[in-house]
Amino acid sequence: MITLKNDQLTFSFPEVHAEAVFSLEFERTLRIPDDNRAHFLPPGLGSFPLAHVDDHAARLPPSWRAHGGVFLPMYQAEALWINFNDFGEYPFAVKIAAGKIDAVTGDPWSTKLSDDPQNYVVVPEQPWLDGFCVSKGMIRQFVAMPLGAGFTAEEQLTGAAEHGGLQIIAYPMKAEVYEAMRKARAEEVLFGPDFAMCCEAPCPSPPQKEMGLAPGGLMRQSIYDDPYGLDAWDLKHASRCFVHILNSLQYAAATGHNPPTRPPSAADYTRAGLPWFAYYGAESAALEGSAKLAGMDSVAAKTIKQGLPPLPENEPVTPKVVIPIGTGDRVREAEF
């Protein structure tokens, strides 16, 4: 079951286990410079507003009504990241696609989990996802571009501008695997030699076309290897959601509300001395990244190839403040 409250999508599986709950939200953020340099993690600037498709069905295309799900507004060339909030320790395997292109492998969307190559992230081990996994420890930021202009991942990899948006499916861990793991952890806490280490370190544990997500600048972020293995996941239970992305005008027409204001440019933000973040969380192995995704043109590169004016607000930045964060403190919010 997926519920929407306070702009958070909460996935819960009471039929599997009372603790099988996690939520995610879509964070507004800076668009990092698309200059082939590896950037630190940008801040969260508050979450995007989310609305039920059903609540505004009369003003949305019939195909969106058929998809169901939710929608959010993004300006062209605005970036987002997905923030996973765990209510406890219950693990989930979460598949994420943009325009039905798997953000981890670059393969076409399927609901199936695979471990060769791994096509999902593990929550809560994975605190967030900022983009497409292009190489080990490196992603290209999710940047909204209109479908049909050739920038989005789906257009670059399939040649078609058909789906847009984000697609998400979550599988909970099998209840018996979770119970066994919890019992083992409890015994380790009671009898193990190094309780403190265990707690601090990651225990193995009616618009025409919507917007799509294109690969933006490079960012240092690892997608972590599944520490539990494919057999740990309860494949009989899954919840999925289609997240449509509207541009600001479409959003205002559908809802009667204006979207949030545009985020500051990365350069303005950095000049103001505001912090970037570096995550030193996990000792888990990182996935290698996808050659398909790495072969895509970034928005800036595509802009040049198409002979368009250079991407605005794309000045290089040199952060003055970089805040290191770890697994125990996963807050990426700047204080203004």
Partner 1 sequence: MEFGSYIRATRERLRAGDRRYSVRQVAQRIGVEPAYLSKIERGEQSPPSEATIRRLAEDLSLDADVLLALAGKVSAEMQAIIRQRPELFAQLLRELRDLPDHAILQLVRVVRDGDW
Residues lying near partner 1 in the complex (CB under 8 A): 1-5, 9, 52-54, 65-70, 163, 167, 239-242
Cα Rg of the chain (Å, integer): 20
- Choose between 70 and 133: whose C-beta lies nearer to partner 1: 70
| Cβ nearer to partner 1, comparing 147 with 218 | 147
Peptide bond into 310 cis (omega under 30): no
Distance set, CA 153 to CA 3, 34, 253, 286 (Å): 28, 15, 26, 22
Q: For residues 52 and 320, which CB has a smaller minimum distance to partner 1 in the complex?
A: 52
Q: From the CB of 100, what's the least distance to partner 1, in Å?
A: 8
16 versus 218: smaller Cβ distance to partner 1: 16
The SS3 of residue 61 is coil
**Shortest reach from residue 9's CB to partner 1, in Å:** 7
Nearest distance, CB of residue 53 and partner 1, angstroms: 8
Residue 78 vs 234, nearer CB to partner 1: 234
Query: How far, in Å, CA of 250 to CA of 274, rounded?
Result: 32
Identify whether the C-beta of residue 177 lies closer than 8 Å to the C-beta of residue 228. yes
The answer to whether 138 and 209 are in contact (CB under 8 A) is: no
Write the secondary structure of 149-177 as one string of H (helix), E (strand) and C (coil). CCCCHHHHHHCCCCCCCEEEEEEEECHHH
Q: Supply the minimum distance, in Å, between the C-beta of residue 150 and partner 1.
A: 23
Helix (H) or strand (E) holding 82: strand 79-86
Whole-number minimum distance, CB 187 to partner 1, in Å?
36
